[in-house]
Amino acid sequence: MNDHHAKQMRTPLRQVRGLGSARSGTTHFWHQRVTSVALLSLTIAFVVIVVMLLGRNHAAAVQILGSPLVAILMLLFIFTTAYHMWLGMQEIIVDYVHDDALKLFTLISNTFFCAAVGLACTYAILKLSFGV
């Protein structure tokens, strides 16, 4: 029996096993759900911080954003939002971009964009916190 004939005798489940990323979809699903739950409380904290900044002058805003608790909350908000955004856009790209070259380009662009946004926001918070 040749190799081609042996492959034809396999059941569909046997043909699929070992191919692709079987179980990685649930990890992706749970990461999206956990980050969205975390973002519920972090977004509330973010809105409270923004409301505290309304009507303040620059020095007062820098003082509020530079305090350790506020800076940590803002960094958590930034990291979680950037990661959640990366996961969500990745899912959209994989589902709706069918050309392989374009899909690869947009997945790489998505990663760089989310990293750039996260790093720029992180830099701004750290600059305010440490006054560098």
pLDDT for position 95: 93
Q: CATH second-level architecture of 34-130?
A: Up-down Bundle (1.20)
Supply φ then ψ for residue 75, to 5 degrees: -65, -40
pLDDT for position 88: 95
pLDDT at 124 over 90: yes
pLDDT at 19 over 60: no
pLDDT digits (tens, 9 = 90+) for 75-121: 999 999 999 999 999 999 999 999 999 999 999 999 999 999 999 99
DSSP H helices, the chain, are: 3-8, 12-16, 24-53, 58-66, 68-96, 100-130
Domain boundaries, the chain: 34-130
pLDDT for position 115: 98
